[in-house]
Amino acid sequence: MLRAQVRTATINRVPASRRPLTIMAQAQKAPIYDLVLKAKAGEPFKLGDCPFCHRVLLTAAVKKFPVQATLVDFRNKPEWLLQPPPVGSGGKVPVLREPVSGLVMPDSDVIVEHLEKLYPEPSMRSDTPADLGSKLFPAFRGFLFAAAGSEEEAAKRGELEGELRALDAHLAQPGKGPLLGGAHISQSDAAIAPKLYHAKTALAHFKHYSFPSDLKALQKYMDAIAATPEWKATDYGTDAIIAGWTAHLAHH
């Protein structure tokens, strides 16, 4: 039964057009960790669009942390995943499963901190203010789900643009960029960039909304991170984002 519910694939089995990085061990005999991720809506053998999963994948790619991906079809989640910790995660992803101890570790915040301690080099620590972009994702979701033309939609759009302008102002400071971590991807980049990717893609598709054109530093930032090998290797594509949010909107 479990086999029918969970799709398991090593990272490099994703189709070549969207193939994530083959993540090799830093040590020759390092154990392979199992990273449980969302599968694409309607195509359960392809990597899905979860920005929190993307955060962990970017971290693993930067650190060359040895993982294989287990892709979970959200329409048919396995029983173990639905269990509360320490057995499962209450149905949420990402989840990191350690090969030796069998420890199940949910929550992207916990996972990336664990990886930072386990593989401290290259460091992804960041001095970016902790509150920068902290309200980006809820503002985006609120805008997306709000009824067209409603006061709520206008309010959530305003909240989103406030977050975008704060990011733009930070990136426009002298000496900043091209990424939040400078020349290399930091944990701030891994956390914020996937959310920007979702917001830009989903709002353009469902709301015919574009980020304000005067946010030049923000656009330069998004172009810069999209050009990194780690991003290219873990990018699931805009079609996966649209498929994922189509499913969310259908159940909202």
50 is catalytic: yes
**CA–CA separation, 215 vs 87, rounded Å?**
45
Structure tokens belonging to residue 43: 């195509």
107: left (phi over 0), alpha (psi -120 to 50) or beta: left
Instruction: Report DSSP letters for the chain, one per residue.
Output: -HHHHEEEE-GGGS-GGGPPP----SSTTPPPEEEEEEEETTEEEEE---HHHHHHHHHHHHHT--EEEEEE-TTS--HHHHSPTTT--TT-S-EEE-TTT--EEE-HHHHHHHHHHH--SS-----S-TTTTTTHHHHHHHHHHSPTT-HHHHHHHHHHHHHHHHHHHHHTSTT--SBTTBTS--HHHHHHHHHHHHHHHHHHHHT-----TT-HHHHHHHHHHHTSHHHHHH---HHHHHHHHHHHHHT-
Identity (one letter) of the amino acid at 180? L
Residue type, 64: K
Active-site residue among 37, 50, 190, 196?
A: 50
Catalytic positions? 50
